[in-house]
Amino acid sequence: MIEPEVAPVEVPRHYDVTLEELRAVVRDRKPEILDDLGGWAGIVRTLVSDVNKGVLSETVEKRRAQFASNVIPPRPPKSFMSLWLNAFDDATLLILIVASFISIAVSFIPREIEEEYDWVEGVAILGAVLIVTTVTAVNDFSNEKQFRALNAAKEARDVRVVRDGEHMDVSIFDLVVGDIVLLSTGEAIPADGVLVTAPSNTVMK
């Protein structure tokens, strides 16, 4: 059976520069590409932005559609099953599991004097191991959820940008390519960007 080919998703082009070119400038630090784009001033023009007026709010969705959002995808969370299996990675528990199976197996060996519930001890050990590993997995799963929530809250903050010629505060996750970001002394840079020369405390995302 021949599977139909899936057409690649086309990214809308509203601006005459690609995300790969911008990444080459800000991440790979390739000055030749920056020169080809006309320096930071050329990038500002290409992105239809303005050092003093910023971008127009009506273009935010177009920018987000072409260049994506200012959000780093979180790593996939571990499943409960994987955490439960990880809980078995303990030498003591492995010894107890082996001992429980040996105890259960021995209980089925014919003997002169047989006790009706010889197998109970092995099953009890195995049950205790399952309870311990399940409780451990539940705790780890809960801790990971709390850690993700705290990490997301820590990263969330407002940044000062210029849009429509006005200074305004927007969520760091709402920044788009072309935004003019105003930084204060000691403030962490909220995204990859190019430093522009005027005003001196401005960075273009």
pLDDT in tens, 70-122: 887 778 888 999 999 999 999 999 999 999 898 888 877 776 665 666 778 88
Say what the pLDDT of residue 56 is.
94
Give the phi and the psi of residue 202 in degrees, each rounded to 5. Answer: -110, 135
Mean pLDDT of the chain: 83
Do 54 and 119 fall within a single domain?
Answer: no
Burial class (CB in 10 A: 0-12, 13-18, 19+), 196: buried
Say what the pLDDT of residue 8 is.
42
Q: Domain range spanning residue 189?
A: 19-70+175-204
Do 66 and 89 fall within a single domain?
Answer: no
Would you say the pTM of this structure is higher than 0.75? Answer: no
Residue 46 within a domain: yes
Place of tokens 């840079």: 189
Reported as a single tens digit per residue, the pLDDT across 162-199 is 999 999 999 999 999 999 999 888 888 888 888 885 45
Do 103 and 150 fall within a single domain?
Answer: yes
Do 65 and 87 fall within a single domain?
Answer: no
Do 94 and 136 fall within a single domain?
Answer: yes
Do 87 and 147 fall within a single domain?
Answer: yes
Do 143 and 122 fall within a single domain?
Answer: yes
Number of domains making up the chain: 2
